[in-house]
Amino acid sequence: MTIEINEEVETSFDFDLKEVAHQVINGVLDFEKFPYEADVSLTLVSSEDIQTINKEQREMDKVTDVLSFPMIPWSSPVCYEELETFDDIFHPETGEAMLGDIVLCVPKVIAQALEFGHSKKREYAFLIAHSMLHLLGYDHEDEDERIQMENRQKEILEYIGITRED
């Protein structure tokens, strides 16, 4: 498993952000029964940086909490049997499935933790879990998909033992 974590902004969390990122990413893959070793990149950025990326990549000129850039063109969530049909998703040296990139806005983690009344650790974990589900093909374009993703996120956080009290 390769999890690359890039800190492009100063962080002052009261938890080990690398340890929690590994816990969540591994927990999502385990919960979703992902059958391969994986390669995931997580980049922590400022509000300004995520706004720039959001504008460039999605033509949305606004700050957002997290962006997901899946490498796999899923036909439906966690449709693992189709992975073998893609030649370019497995890293040539490691053989790991390259799932994609997560870009997380640190100031939004802090603000949303306060807004929703839970810890920064819980918000950080929640946003990584949310993004990992996107990397596995989940989306929330309609109400049914939104409900399915919300339920998965809640189940995953319970599975890995990160609650609102953390």
Encode pLDDT of 103-159 as tens digits. 999 999 999 999 999 999 999 999 999 999 999 999 888 888 889 898 999 999 999
Q: Is residue 126 domain-resident?
A: yes
Distance CA 17, CA 23 (A): 10
Tell me what pLDDT residue 82 has.
Answer: 87
Of the chain, the percentage scoring pLDDT greater than 70 comes to 98
Distance CA 102, CA 66 (A): 7
Encode pLDDT of 20-32 as tens digits. 999 999 999 999 9
Backbone angles phi, psi at 14, to 5 degrees: -95, 25
Full-model pTM? 0.94
Tell me what pLDDT residue 165 has.
Answer: 62
Distance CA 142, CA 121 (A): 28
Q: Is residue 165 domain-resident?
A: no
Tell me what pLDDT residue 166 has.
Answer: 55
Are the beta carbons of 25 and 3 closer than 8 angstroms?
Answer: yes
Q: Residue 81 above 90 pLDDT? A: no
What CATH number corresponds to the domain at position 151? 3.40.390.30
List the domain range (segments joined by +) for residue 60: 2-160
* Number of domain units in the chain: 1
Q: Is residue 166 domain-resident?
A: no
Q: Closest Cα to residue 78, out of 19, 10, 131, 32?
A: 32
Of the chain, the percentage scoring pLDDT greater than 90 comes to 77
Q: Is residue 79 domain-resident?
A: yes
Q: Residue 164 above 90 pLDDT? A: no
Q: Is residue 75 domain-resident?
A: yes
